[in-house]
Every structure is written in structure tokens, then in C-alpha cells.
């Protein structure tokens, strides 16, 4: 069975629309860990999004910021904001997406006074915590919406709409507490470029990759590629390539019986001595030491 994934265009905008013209709202119940590599990859959409971590622990990336969201907490993501979700284990995430027009039609006072300020504010997101009273109210109302949506026989659009408007009123009252895109460190264009380069590296890491190859993935110059990585990843592109290769090597060491030298070549290292040194700097032990610690060359590792 193929794993679920987010479908995007070249600019990483999600190509699937959410809801219908008559009711621009959609509900999902996802296990992040079921996505390939436990990752709902970077994307953006025109809808607002709310999500709650019902079970497990998610790592969320917004712009250049990455932070954990614990079980019971949630997140609001503004329209047009690049974001991704990652989980190392089963992590159940109910979420809703809806168009601004669900709150009120354009060219109305409600839209002008309560929706436009969000669209023009530069707000990127807000993590919702249970220990903050007004945010706990939002999380409770989200749970009510999830419950309504889970009952396919009695889905009540009016009940959903009422609760979304109640949530929006709370957000509007506390808008000053939210995070702006200036704090995420990257413009939208730079985020798109960075994610295009990261996705290229994540798929091509086992081969020979030059800085020019990485820059070409985003149709930018080498200097702009360096700038995007410095701002967004706090490292150079080549450092990110090495980190991806080492992470893949570690996984193969712990899950297969392939020889260490073969693993080094598989993940893109053409010098075993350099592989050993880089691996020890990253993980504090050599590849063979890690394999022995995990159960030995003939221990718990399984051939895949």
C-alpha cells in the first residue's frame, strides 16, 4: 500500500483544494507517522488551518522555525504560510482547513474588520497550549468540530460554522500574541527555494551532488543557495547533504546486515575513512561501535 503524501506544484502550493464552493471547509484525521519518512512535507495553501496533536508528539516547521507540539496542544497556521509536520512514532493529528470566506463574504464589514487584518498582518502561526485559558477554549471548540465531522451521518455545517466564528473571535482578540513571518526568518520566496533544494537533496543524496546541482533545483545562483541555507537551516548546503547521508547510514546500520563499507557507498560517501570520521563527529561513536551497541553484527539487526 502506498503511503499518503501531500501533492504540490513547483512552488510547493498544495494542488488539492479543500471543501467545496458551497462549504469551503475540510476535516482530516491523519497519523503523521504513516506518511513517507514520518513527514507531511513542506507545503502551503490558501486556507487557514487548525490542528491538534491528539496522540503522540509532532515536530512542526514554519519558515526557518522548528518546534515540538505535545499531546493535547495544537497549532493555527495562517493562509499562505509554508509548514511541515514530522513524527518519530504514531502521532494522531485531527485538523481542519477552511477558506476565509467561510467566516464572512468579502466586501462585508465582518470580513474587513476580522479577516483582512489576518491576511495583511504577516502573522504566520500560533501554537495553542492547554495551560493558557483562552487557547484551551479554542482547543475545546476544535474538539467539538472534530466530533461533528467524525459523524458522517449528521454533519452539521451550521454547528461547524458557529464554532469557527467563535474560535475566530478569540483569535482576533489575541492577535498581538501571534508569531509574524518576520520572526520565522525567511520570506515566502526564500522558503519555497529552500524546500525545493532540500527535497532535491533528500532524493539525490546517494549520488554526486555539487552546489550548482543544489542551486539548479531552485533555479537560483550558488550564492543565493548559500544564503537560503544559512538563513533557513543555519548551515551550508554541503553540511546538509552530509547530515542526510549520515542519518540514512545510521538507519541502515541499525536495520540491515550490510557491511559498513557498502553502506558508506550506498549513501554517497566515496571515502570510508571520511565516512568513519564524519559519523563519529555526528553520533559520538564509529559506525561499527554503533552497530555493536545496538546488538552486534550478528545480533538484532535484520536484513531488509
Residues 47/53/58/62 CA torsion (nearest 10 deg): 30
Mean pLDDT, residues 231-238 taken together: 85
Which alpha helices (DSSP H) does the chain contain, by range? 109-110, 116-119, 133-150, 157-173, 181-184, 188-204, 211-217, 222-232, 237-255, 260-266, 272-283, 287-294
Whether residue 182 has pLDDT greater than 60: no
Contact 6, 97 (CB under 8 A): no
Q: Which residues contact 148 (CB under 8 A, 6 or more apart)?
A: 154, 155, 156, 159, 160
Domain annotation for the chain: domains and CATH numbers: 25-184 (2.60.120.280), 188-294 (1.10.10.60)
Res 302: pLDDT: 42
pLDDT 10s digits, 50-86: 999 999 999 998 876 788 999 999 999 998 888 999 9
Res 143: pLDDT: 97
The residue that leads in pLDDT, 301 or 175, is: 175
Contact 135, 129 (CB under 8 A): yes
pLDDT 10s digits, 207-221: 999 999 999 999 999
pLDDT 10s digits, 102-112: 999 999 999 99
d(CA 154, CA 160): 12
- DSSP letter string over 92-104? EEEEEEE-GGGT-
Res 303: pLDDT: 36
pTM: predicted TM-score of the whole model, two decimal places: 0.69
pLDDT 10s digits, 120-175: 777 888 999 999 999 999 999 999 999 999 987 777 999 999 999 999 999 999 98
pLDDT 10s digits, 78-90: 988 889 999 999 9
Res 179: pLDDT: 65
The residue that leads in pLDDT, 196 or 120, is: 196
Q: Report the chain's mean pLDDT, rounded to a whole number.
A: 89
The residue that leads in pLDDT, 261 or 155, is: 261
Reported confidence tier of residue 29, pLDDT bands at 50, 70, 90: very high
Cα–Cα distances (Å) from 284 to 273, 277, 278, 287, in that order, read: 15, 10, 10, 10
Amino acid at each position: 500500500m502506498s503511503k499518503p503524501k501531500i501533492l504540490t506544484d513547483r512552488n510547493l502550493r498544495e494542488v488539492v483544494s479543500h471543501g467545496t464552493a458551497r462549504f469551503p471547509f475540510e476535516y482530516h484525521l491523519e497519523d503523521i507517522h504513516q506518511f513517507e519518512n514520518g513527514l507531511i512535507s513542506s507545503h502551503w495553501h490558501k486556507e487557514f488551518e487548525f490542528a491538534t496533536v491528539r496522540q503522540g508528539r509532532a515536530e512542526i516547521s514554519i519558515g526557518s522555525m522548528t518546534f515540538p507540539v505535545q499531546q493535547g496542544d495544537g497549532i493555527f497556521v495562517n493562509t499562505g504560510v509554508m509548514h511541515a509536520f514530522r513524527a518519530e512514532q504514531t502521532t494522531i493529528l485531527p485538523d481542519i482547513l477552511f477558506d476565509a470566506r467561510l467566516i464572512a463574504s468579502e466586501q462585508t464589514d465582518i470580513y474587513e474588520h476580522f479577516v483582512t487584518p489576518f491576511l495583511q498582518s504577516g502573522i504566520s502561526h500560533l501554537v495553542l497550549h492547554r495551560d493558557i485559558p483562552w487557547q484551551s477554549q479554542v482547543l475545546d471548540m476544535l474538539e467539538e468540530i472534530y466530533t461533528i465531522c467524525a459523524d458522517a451521518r449528521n454533519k452539521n455545517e451550521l454547528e461547524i460554522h458557529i464554532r469557527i466564528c467563535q474560535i475566530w473571535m478569540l483569535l482576533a482578540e489575541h492577535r498581538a500574541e501571534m508569531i509574524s513571518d518576520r520572526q520565522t526568518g525567511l520570506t515566502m520566496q526564500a522558503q519555497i527555494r529552500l524546500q525545493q533544494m532540500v527535497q532535491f537533496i533528500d532524493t539525490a543524496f546517494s549520488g554526486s551532488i555539487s552546489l550548482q546541482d543544489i542551486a539548479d533545483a531552485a533555479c537560483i545562483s550558488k550564492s543565493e543557495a548559500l544564503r537560503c541555507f544559512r538563513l533557513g537551516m543555519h548551515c551550508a548546503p554541503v553540511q546538509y547533504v552530509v547530515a542526510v547521508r549520515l542519518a540514512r547510514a545510521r538507519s541502515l546500520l541499525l536495520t540491515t546486515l550490510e557491511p559498513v563499507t557498502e553502506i558508506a557507498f550506498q549513501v554517497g560517501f566515496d571515502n570510508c575513512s571520511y565516512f568513519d570520521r564524519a559519523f563519529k563527529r555526528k553520533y559520538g561513536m564509529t559506525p561499527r561501535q554503533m552497530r555493536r551497541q545496538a546488538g552486534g553484527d550478528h545480533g538484532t539487526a535484520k536484513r531488509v
